[in-house]
């Protein structure tokens, strides 16, 4: 089946799940004419796309190289855009430094920052009648946590979110020349900034992830300079997108399902675990993940030729009724909940434990402090399909 739906159309961005239902019903990957690739909408097919060793993340440099040079190597030298054996080497090195202990030591920092943000939000609400759930709460915390984890000085963090937003805008399909120019500049400035921080950490190692990454060794290998910078930039980019958008999308569903919001508010810590997983499943922050065939293969009965692309539709897979009972129902007590919002296979999100730690603190603490939380006006959704989220969500509580 061929489909012609414009994934960046405002109606699709607002609610893509009607189309996902149609594509799942086909029972095999559909071919998207505009993107020139197959889309795997069922859980089984999307999971196969993520796990198949015959598919890879094959990075292709953008041209001309003189303006895209930094953007190119920030991706080609990252874990996300590499395949074995390079991916195996990079992931082993990063995983050795990015341990559960490194993540868990961020808990007291996250608790302190959460309360500081909520104090500031309460002050803004007192002055203006509302605050922005995204800009005043969801965004600052994960950026600060990743920066703290990496050892980026607090007085040098102002541009991190802006740089990240300009770079990740390139992951969607409808971009303007201005978007591209902003991404080029952001990549140059971000890389230059991180190179300076890396040099400082090499000269004066500390108890931080960047120092550990600079020193870590596995099988006689270390990260080279570009790999170290690319890893730091990837952690800052990917490390907060899932938290920010997972939080924002999830709370929008809570607002749209007042019974669920009341249930979670009544027991925020007891229900936080299952509620967070349902927030990630029901309206996934990452909707699509591309891979390229390294050889001829078959996914869901469809032949994918060597060099052709196929994408896992994570949002569609996470609403598959073959896997999730009453899949279109938002159920904050759902258990088990085997969603693939963080991917699967060798590209399973390395930062998933950190995102879950952050959400396990920010979600219940917000409702504990503001038990009457509610929307004060219609939210502003990001007009992007791949990275799904909200720009602005004004609330009071």
Residue among 227, 206, 225 nearest 151 (CA): 206
Catalytic residue among 238, 275, 311, 312: 238
Calpha distance 284→182 (Å, rounded): 26
DSSP 330: -
Is the Cβ–Cβ distance between 131 and 392 less than 8 Å?
no
Bridge-based pairing of strands 309-313 and 288-293 is antiparallel
Calpha distance 28→49 (Å, rounded): 12
Is the Cβ–Cβ distance between 318 and 337 less than 8 Å?
no
Calpha distance 48→31 (Å, rounded): 17
Calpha distance 280→242 (Å, rounded): 9
DSSP 365: H
Annotated catalytic, 81? no
Please give the structure tokens belonging to residue 14. Answer: 């607002």
Catalytic residue among 97, 144, 187, 349: 349
Please give the structure tokens belonging to residue 281. Answer: 């499943």
Annotated catalytic, 76? no
Annotated catalytic, 139? no
Catalytic residue among 130, 211, 243, 284: 243
Is the Cβ–Cβ distance between 142 and 243 less than 8 Å?
yes
Beta-carbon-side half-sphere exposure of residue 365 (alpha carbons within 13 Å): 21
Angle between helices 352-369 and 258-266 in degrees, nearest 10: 90
Residues 218-222: contacts with CB under 8 Å, at least 24 apart:
218/89, 218/92, 218/93, 218/96, 219/89, 219/92, 221/89, 221/93, 222/93
**Bridge-partner residues for 291, per DSSP?**
310
Catalytic residue among 241, 275, 341, 355: 241
Annotated catalytic, 121? no
Is the Cβ–Cβ distance between 32 and 8 less than 8 Å?
no
Annotated catalytic, 241? yes
Calpha distance 68→81 (Å, rounded): 16
Residue 215 sits at φ, ψ, to 5 deg, of: -105, -20
Q: Which residues are catalytic?
A: 238, 241, 243, 349, 358
């Amino acid at each position: 089946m061929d489909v012609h739906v414009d994934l960046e159309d405002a109606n699709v961005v607002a609610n893509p799940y009607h189309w996902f239902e149609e594509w799942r019903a086909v029972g095999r990957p559909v071919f998207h004419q505009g993107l020139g690739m197959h889309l795997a909408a069922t859980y089984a097919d999307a999971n196969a796309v993520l796990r198949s060793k015959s598919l890879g993340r094959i990075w292709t440099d953008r041209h001309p190289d003189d303006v895209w040079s930094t953007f190119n190597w920030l991706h080609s030298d990252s874990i996300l855009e590499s395949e074995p054996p390079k991916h195996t080497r990079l992931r082993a090195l990063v995983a050795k430094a990015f341990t559960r202990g490194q993540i868990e030591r961020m808990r007291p920092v996250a608790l302190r920052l959460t309360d500081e943000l909520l104090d500031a939000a309460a002050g803004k609400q007192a002055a203006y009648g509302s605050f922005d759930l995204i800009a005043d709460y969801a965004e600052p915390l994960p950026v600060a946590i990743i920066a703290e984890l990496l050892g980026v000085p607090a007085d040098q963090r102002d541009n991190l979110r802006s740089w990240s937003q300009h770079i990740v805008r390139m992951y969607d399909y409808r971009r303007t020349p201005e978007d591209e120019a902003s991404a080029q500049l952001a990549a140059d400035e971000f890389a230059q900034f991180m190179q300076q921080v890396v040099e400082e950490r090499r000269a004066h190692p500390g108890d931080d992830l960047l120092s550990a990454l600079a020193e870590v060794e596995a099988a006689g290998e270390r990260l080279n300079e570009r790999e170290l910078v690319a890893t730091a930039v990837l952690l800052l980019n990917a490390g907060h997108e899932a938290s920010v958008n997972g939080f924002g999308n999830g709370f929008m569903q809570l607002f749209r399902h007042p019974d669920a919001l009341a249930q979670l508010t009544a027991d925020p810590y007891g229900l936080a675990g299952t509620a967070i997983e349902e927030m990630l499943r029901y309206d996934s922050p990452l909707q699509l993940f591309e891979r390229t065939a390294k050889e001829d293969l078959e996914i869901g009965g469809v032949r994918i030729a060597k060099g052709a692309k196929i994408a896992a539709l994570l949002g569609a897979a996470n609403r598959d009724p073959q896997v999730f009972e009453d899949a279109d129902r938002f159920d904050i007590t759902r258990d088990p909940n085997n969603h693939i919002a963080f991917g699967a296979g060798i590209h399973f999100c390395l930062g998933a434990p950190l995102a879950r730690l952050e959400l396990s603190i920010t979600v219940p603490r917000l409702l504990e402090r503001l038990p009457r939380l509610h929307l004060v006006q219609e939210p502003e959704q990001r007009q992007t399909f791949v990275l799904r989220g909200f720009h602005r969500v004004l609330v009071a509580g």
